[in-house]
């Protein structure tokens, strides 16, 4: 009996090493190409976007005196320079609609999205004369495309000049008047969308931003303001940030939810696999010992390979089909291997009931617990405690000294590959 336990332990240890190698391979495949694939997604779809408020500037000529020394004499000159003057934003009405549309590359999902942006801003010319003002909206990302880009001043669309910094139009603003300017575009991004008031602490007046999403699982970036209003819609949320007068260095925005990542999930399940096999071996050993079934260490070896087949198949299937479909296929394959094998070794009843149910619990259900973030450890702990309780109740009256002292010749016989009571 001791030699049998030692042999089973050796098989378990070797299979554990194989799982560690497989798990490391999965993570290597996932993250070694992760940065390269992310750059490809950003290049083809778009990168995280950070939208700044538009700026308005006009130029005035200002004269000042400059003094210099020439030939030992101090000379004064009148120098006229064009100086930029910023036009403050009096009001902001921003509408943003984000539609999540994830993309998969390799073993990772990327949270790509489409965004519709529209902002109506009021700029006040506080000078005593009309000014020719340049209105500029900086692009929220360099790696992005912008469709239907439009800028309207006082309701009239104007020709747009674009460069690497953004889009610009020029219009005359009457003295003392607040001129409405509207900016709009459609674009694509990845990961997060942020509206940032400025690089430093900024003052914002009469500000309203409405953000609509087509997803429920919404989160907010670090150093961001929480919405002042939050309304649930049939397919997502409508979030509102409304301030009369705000002085803050924080930002506004949303972080896109991530789909279940195939690569990391398959790797985690592989690293956890020895726990599943331990419980399965433990239960098989208890049941066969209680019933006098002679299950040879070679039988345990083939059972271990059937368990390993589950994770090996999943490792190379998840980058071709969905993680849920891959999980179902791998479960069916592994259970079929175990049941069909033990049907020949012991019998159909033991293979389908005791072994089949044990594999369903300790391989399939334990592995599926990883699909529920935050509850994996609790689910496995409860399953372990329930297993311990059941085994303790079943074996409480067994005389283990007698069981361990049984000789091999006392084991029951087998005929035609089946176990007979």
Parent domain of 403: 2-32+260-419
Picking from 201, 225, 255, the residue at the C-terminal end of a domain is: 255
For residues 48 and 337, the answer to whether their CB atoms sit within 8 Å is: no
pLDDT in tens, 235-269: 999 999 999 988 888 899 999 998 888 888 999 99
Burial class of residue 112 in the structure, from the number of CB atoms within 10 Å of its CB (0-12 exposed, 13-18 middle, 19+ buried): buried
Position 406 scores a pLDDT of: 57
Residue 336 inside a domain? The answer is yes
Q: Looking at the structure, tell me whether residues 224 and 244 fall in a common domain.
A: yes
Residue 341 included in any domain: yes
| pLDDT tens digits, 196-241 | 998 788 888 999 999 999 999 888 988 889 999 999 999 999 999 9
Residues 215, 275: one domain? no
The reply to whether 119 and 196 lie within a common domain is yes
Q: Are residues 91 and 107 in the same domain?
A: yes
Q: Whole-model pTM above 0.85? A: no
Is the pLDDT assigned to residue 67 strictly greater than 60? yes
HSE-CB of 9 using CA atoms within 13 angstroms? 6
Tens of pLDDT, residues 379-415: 888 888 988 888 888 888 877 777 667 544 444 433 3
Q: Is the pLDDT of residue 298 over 90?
A: yes
Q: Residue range 120-134: average pLDDT? A: 90
Residue 68 lies in a domain: no
Do 306 and 343 belong to one domain? yes
User: What is the rounded average pLDDT for all residues in the chain?
Assistant: 87
Q: Does a structural domain hold residue 72? A: no
- 188/276 same-domain check: no
Do residue 221 and residue 299 come from a single domain? no
Q: Is residue 40 part of a domain?
A: no
CATH number at residue 109: 2.60.40
Q: How far apart are CA 333 and CA 342, in angstroms?
A: 14
* Confidence (pLDDT) at 40: 77
Residue 152 lies in a domain: yes
pLDDT tens per residue across span 71-84: 667 777 776 777 88
Residue 56 lies in a domain: yes
The number of domains in the chain is: 2
Asked if 268 and 370 sit in the same domain, the reply is yes
Answer yes or no: is 275 within a domain.
Answer: yes
- Are the C-beta atoms of residues 142 and 164 closer than 8 Å to each other? yes
**Cα 257 to Cα 259: distance, rounded to the nearest angstrom:** 7
Going 364 to 367 to 368 to 374, the CA torsion angle's sign is positive
Of the listed ranges 60-69, 85-94, 204-213, 245-254, the least confidently predicted one is: 60-69
| 282 and 201 within one domain | no
| Same domain, residue pair 54 and 175 | yes
Query: SS3 string of the chain?
Result: CHHHHHHHHHHHHHHHHHHHHHHHHHHHHHHHCHHHHHHHHHHHCCCCEEECCCEEEEEEEEEEEEEEEECCEEEEEEEEEEEEEECCEEEEEEEEEEEECCEEECCEEECEEEEEEEEEEEEECCCCCCEEEEEEEECCCCCCCEEEEEEEECCEECCCEECCCEEEEEEEECCCCEEEEEEEEEEEEECEEEEECCCCCEEEEEEEEEEEECCCCCECCCCECCCCEEEECCCCEEEEEEEEEEEECCEEEEECCCCCCHHHHHHHHHHHHHHHHHHHHHHHHHHHHHHCCCCCHHHHHHHHHHHHHHHHHHHHHCCCCCHHHHHHHHHHHHHHHHHHHHHHHCCHHHHHHHHHHHHHHHHHHHHHHHHCCCCHHHHHHHHHHHHHHHHHHHHCCCCHHHHHHCCHHHCCCEECCEECC
Residues 285 and 197 in one domain: no
**Between 208 and 36, residue with greater pLDDT:** 208
Give the number of other CB atoms < 10 A from CB of residue 389.
Answer: 10
CB 182 within 8 A of CB 54: no
Q: 237, 255, 273 — which closes off a domain?
A: 255
CA 311, CA 298: separation in Å to the nearest integer?
Answer: 21
Last residue of a domain, one of 236, 255, 274: 255
């Amino acid at each position: 009996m001791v030699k049998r336990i030692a042999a089973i332990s050796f098989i378990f240890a070797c299979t554990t090493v194989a799982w560690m190698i497989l798990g490391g391979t999965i993570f290597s495949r996932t993250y070694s190409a992760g940065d390269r694939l992310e750059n490809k997604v950003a290049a083809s779809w778009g990168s995280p976007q950070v939208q700044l408020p538009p700026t308005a500037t006009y130029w005035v000529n200002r004269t000042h005196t400059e003094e210099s020394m020439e030939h030992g004499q101090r000379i004064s000159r009148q120098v006229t320079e064009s100086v930029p003057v910023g036009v403050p934003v009096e009001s902001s009405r921003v509408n943003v609609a984000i539609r999540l549309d994830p993309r998969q590359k390799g073993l990772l999902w990327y949270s790509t999205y489409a965004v519709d942006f529209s902002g109506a801003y009021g700029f006040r010319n506080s000078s005593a004369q009309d000014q020719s003002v340049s209105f500029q909206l900086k692009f929220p990302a360099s790696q992005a495309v912008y469709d239907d880009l439009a800028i309207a001043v006082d309701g009239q669309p104007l020709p747009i000049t674009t460069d690497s910094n953004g889009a610009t139009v020029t219009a005359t603003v009457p003295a003392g008047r607040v001129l409405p300017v509207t900016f709009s575009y459609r674009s694509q991004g990845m990961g997060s969308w942020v509206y940032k008031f400025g690089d430093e602490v900024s003052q914002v007046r009469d500000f309203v931003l409405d953000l609509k999403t087509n997803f429920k699982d919404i989160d907010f970036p670090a150093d961001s303001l929480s919405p002042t209003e939050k309304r649930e819609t049939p397919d997502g949320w409508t979030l509102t940030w409304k301030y009369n007068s705000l002085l803050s260095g924080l930002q506004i925005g949303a972080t896109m939810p991530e789909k279940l990542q195939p690569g990391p999930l398959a790797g985690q399940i592989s690293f956890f696999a020895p726990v599943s096999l331990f419980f399965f071996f433990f239960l098989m050993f208890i049941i066969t010992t209680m019933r006098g079934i002679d299950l040879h260490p070679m039988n345990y070896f083939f059972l271990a390979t059937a368990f390993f087949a589950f994770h090996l198949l999943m490792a190379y299937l998840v980058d071709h089909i969905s993680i849920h479909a891959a999980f179902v296929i791998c479960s069916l394959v592994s259970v079929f291997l175990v049941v069909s094998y033990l049907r020949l070794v012991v019998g159909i009843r033991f293979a389908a009931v005791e072994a089949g149910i044990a594999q369903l619990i300790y391989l399939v259900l334990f592995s599926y617990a990883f699909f529920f973030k935050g509850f994996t450890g609790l689910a496995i702990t409860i399953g372990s405690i329930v297993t311990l309780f059941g085994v303790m109740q079943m074996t409480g009256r067994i005389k283990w000294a007698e069981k361990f002292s049984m000789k091999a010749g006392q084991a029951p016989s087998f005929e035609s590959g089946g176990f007979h009571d």
